Structure 1
């Protein structure tokens, strides 16, 4: 098979695939007669062939796929004007903490947020396929360690965690809004996804709780008032935060 025919086969498979294709899957198209380097070379050619068009070939965490360019999504959204339910700030803060500080336990998340993490928040993120337990910390109780999945990166259109929005103050757009928009509004999958059974699509906002006089203030939120991430390094001399109940 010559290069042009091989490239046409690969292009057709990528366009027709319902999910990203791995290098191994693409090699199977040619009965493994093409090596990994040859397939990568074809992918590079296809990427150049589609430059300047409304669709681009991108490498994600779980493989390669064709997708619409970001600047055209506002037009494509008009075909499906209904927006999916937006996740609560509590859910996205929990997700962002896991993404930026993984692997973490629920206790780690509670130390940062200053509130108890409701079980439904963790379950919702697990059911959505964005986080998973990858092990247990060797401490009393052996709490589960959570990390993000390849599906999380795919929904963000990223190939690795290094491509997440930077945590520098003043990032535009703020990482909180970037997660909210890119995970929900800007992905075709999210636009058609059904909420997980028995799990509310949006958890209510945290219930304000009065802090007794003299009690230490809760830990700083992951995000500032403007939505910009703020992950300070905790002072080891600071007293531990006093968890406040959080509504699920």
Structure 2
């Protein structure tokens, strides 16, 4: 039996999203700084849409929410996502975040601990932010407008994915990420610091990293997520960089769903 797919554009009423599945277990999935919900497209065929319902949300300025403006802050993202969960009628749900939105999984869990069943942080920036050197920040900032710089960044963090993948990634990013939100979200992820609000959270966390991700490795996770969250566990994905949902979608889906189903009550 075919599993339904629903697309809702963003509006003044809330964020846009793509929904997959009709199961009783609810999962809110967030994207990274440089892509929208479509970053997970390759994973969808491997998901159990009969047991779970996935909502791949687009933050303000991305994808189905590309026309939505805002303050582009951690607090705004978390509030928007909780409002969306309310609109969906979800009392309890799991949350998944990638890279920039890894920290948002922590913020949502801190804001609504009774509602978040578990959280998965994929190659995540933590609640401590990503403190870049001046040179690195200059380079990251250049990717906002410079396609060649963005291509170099994708190649650097991908763990060996092809030039064709990087070219396609650049084209998709430029088409689905509003220019006005790119630098504000970068400023957010490098300056955020709400560690005191998340230390000791009992929420079960799965932290996933690729063993070829040059910036967000297992040691960084030991110092952050695993040090702060008593129920956190680490999974290192072999032969993978910063985009496991695209590099190894079947493997990624298997690890994610094994954890979600283990923590579903």
- Per the TM superposition, whether the score is higher than 0.5 is no
TM-score by length of 1: 0.28
TM-score by length of 2: 0.27
Bigger Cα Rg: 1
Normalized per residue, the structure richer in strand is: 2
